[in-house]
Structure 1
Amino acid sequence: MHNQKSSYINWSYSGSTDMSFGTGATTSEKILGYGAGLIALAFYSYFFLMKIYPWNSWQYLLASLLAFDIAGGLVCNCLNSCKRFYSTSLQSEETSITVRLLKRHWFFTIIHIHPLIIQCCFGSSYIGIYGIFWYFALQSSAFIVMKTPLYLQRPMAMLLCLIALLFNSYIIRALNGFEWLIPALFIKIVYGHLVQEEPYRPLTEKHLNHSSN
């Protein structure tokens, strides 16, 4: 009961545009987002230092950037501040073409070409089904969620993430060093970004809003 009383639902926001954490993100929300990215980065730093995989230095750097983006984005897209930012229409101050495009769910999804990058840069050959399969599986799953009634979006997204997890584990062999990435990518996009949920905010934010008015 304490947690419920310390939060409230707020769809409105203002301030400097933040496309990573959502405009108006609290310090705690930003710490969670950065923390997730840094945990993934720490793993790949360890892989580099121990030479776990037969990669070149540039491949370790690329893998680290991809891991930071996916892991950090997974948590960020689940933040209430980010849910609010991407589930509301453009604000009057949001005039940037980048913001306009990224607030379109279909555009946000198609630019996540991570499986294609991994296939090209880490696969045994440039011709393979890994990248193409997972990229179009992600687009198809996103399309399904976007066409699903709101009250079924969350369970539908979870079902699609489960299917992706099973395929990643038993059907489409994951590339070494990226065994975790496809399930995380699906959670980031299919659930985290696309599913509309009520944006709970700390009660202190409500007090700040009232005081500013």
Structure 2
Amino acid sequence: MPSHQAYPSPHSGLKGQIDRFIGPEATRAEVLLQLVPAIMAAIAAPAYALTLSSQWTPLQLGLIAVLGVDLVGGILTNATSAAKRWYHRPGQGWRQHLTFVAVHLIHIGLVVLLFRNGDWGYLLGVSGYLLGASAVILRSPLYLQRPIALGLYSLALLGNLYLFIPIPGLEWFLPLFFLKLLVSHLLYETPYRPGSNL
């Protein structure tokens, strides 16, 4: 099963910045798979929200669009072989992965600020669960990380349904948020190349 686990270096300049985001040597198919659904989410998410209420502010609708792009694009990007090679290359340990996850606490803070009227319980509960679940996954033996991540993701889905009242128009936020981070980003997978077969 050739996986081509060589770790290519990013280019220089703007292309290098993109490489550091999506992974060097991303194929055309990988790039399209990341971009097209993300752009569609940027349009569909605020359009869906507007079907439920006309009371959204432009700032709220803008954030809904950004969250749609980031979460849909992030789920797909982090699942590509190019991103797996990049984010799980030598030197990328639990600290780097936990830092990547921690940056996303900004998402939770913005949702609390703009949509949940400063709900501190939501902020602390979701942030604490995200960091705790991420630490458990990263500290687990490699062969157990996938089932543990899926179990913790399942608990996050239940929490979204039964612990917190989802925001109408943003019911998708926590399910996609945790899918991106706990399952798509943190899990190491063999980064196959085009032409690889089982």
TM-score between the two structures when normalised by the length of structure 1: 0.80
| C-alpha separation in 1, matches of 2:99 and 2:178 | 16
User: 1:160 Cα shift?
Assistant: 0.7
Query: How far, CA to CA, are the matches of 1:51 and 1:159 in structure 2?
Result: 32
Q: 1:188 aligns with which of 168, 180, 183?
A: 180
Alignment of 1:1-213 (within 5 A): 8-12=2-6, 13-16=8-11, 17=16, 18-47=19-48, 50=51, 52-89=53-90, 104-113=96-105, 114-123=107-116, 125-203=117-195
Q: Could you say which structure has the larger radius of gyration?
A: 1
Q: Percent identity, please.
A: 29
Alpha-carbon spacing, 1:29–1:133, altered in 2? closer, same or farther (3 Å):
same
Deviation by residue 1:60-105 (Cα, 9 ceiling, x = unmatched): 0111111211111011111111011111125xxxxxxxxx89x811
- Structure 1 moving runs of 4+ over 2 Å: 47-53
Q: Contact between 2:38 and 2:72, CA under 8 Å: does it hold in 1?
A: yes
Distance 2:115 2:10 in 1: 41
Deviations 1:7-52 (A, max 9, x none): x301212342413221110010011111221221121342466573
Structure richer in helix, relative to its length: 2
Instruction: Give me the whole-angstrom Cα distance separating, in 1, the residues matched to 2:161 and 2:88.
Output: 32
Q: C-alpha distance in 2, partners of 1:179/1:49?
A: 14
Distance in 1 between the 2:50 and 2:64 partners?
Answer: 14
The whole-number CA distance in structure 2 between the counterparts of 1:49 and 1:177 is: 8
From the superposition, tell whether residues 41 and 164 of structure 1 become closer, same or farther in structure 2 (CA, over 3 Å): same
Q: CA-to-partner distance for each residue in 1:89-128, whole Å, 9 max, x for gaps?
A: 25xxxxxxxxx89x811110100021221011111x2243
Unaligned runs of 5+ in 1: 91-99, 205-213
Q: One-letter code of the match for 2:126? A: W
Q: In structure 2, how many angstroms separate the alpha carbons of the residues matched to 1:148 and 1:30? A: 31
Aligned CA distance change for structure 1 residues 118 and 49 (closer, same or farther; 3 Å): closer
In structure 2, list runs of 5 or more residues that go unmatched.
Answer: none
Post-superposition offset of 1:57: 0.9
For residues 145 and 119 of structure 2, the distance between their equivalents in structure 1, rounded to whole angstroms, comes to 34
Partners of 1:53 and 1:177 within 8 A in 2: no
Deviation at 1:162, TM superposition (A): 0.6
CA contact (8 A) 1:10 1:201 kept: yes
How many aligned positions are there?
188
